[in-house]
Amino acid sequence: MASLSVWAGVAFAGGGGVTPPKTPKVTDVVCISTCGGVHKATADSKIQVRGRHLSGVSKVLFNANGGGRTAADAIAVTSRSVKARVPGGAATGKPKVTDSYRSATSPKVLKIVGPGQIQSSGNFKLRDASAKPRRSYYYGKKKPRVTYMFTNGEPTDVRIDVVKRPAGTVVDSWVEHAQAPNTSHTARWSGVRRGKPASNGHYKFRVGPQSGSMESTTQARFSYHRFEFPVRGRHSYGDGVGAPRSGHIHEGQDVLARCGTPLVAARGGRVQWRAYQASGAGYYLVIDGKKTGHDWMYAHLKRRSHLRQGQRVRTGQRIGVVGQTGDATACHLHIEEWSAPGWYQGGHFLKAITKHLRHWDRWS
Go through the domains of the chain in sequence order and give each one's CATH number: 25-117 (2.70.50.70), 125-225 (2.60.40.1930), 236-361 (2.70.70.10)
Pick out the chain residues at pLDDT < 70: 1-20
**pLDDT score for 17:** 55
Q: What is the pLDDT of residues 81-117, one digit of tens each?
A: 999 999 999 999 999 999 988 899 999 999 999 988 8
Q: How far apart are CA 62 and CA 91, in angstroms?
A: 7
Instruction: Give pLDDT tens digits for 239-255.
Output: 988 887 777 788 899 99
Give the pLDDT of residue 153: 87
* Signed CA dihedral, 64, 70, 73, 74: sign only: positive
Residue 242: the pLDDT is 81
- The pairing of strands 69-73 and 59-64 is antiparallel
Question: In three state form, how does the secondary structure of 34-89 look?
Answer: EEEECCEEEEEEEEEEEEECCCCCCEEEEEECCCCEEEEECCEECCCEEEEECCCC
- CB burial of residue 252 (10 Å; 0-12, 13-18, 19+): buried
pTM: 0.79
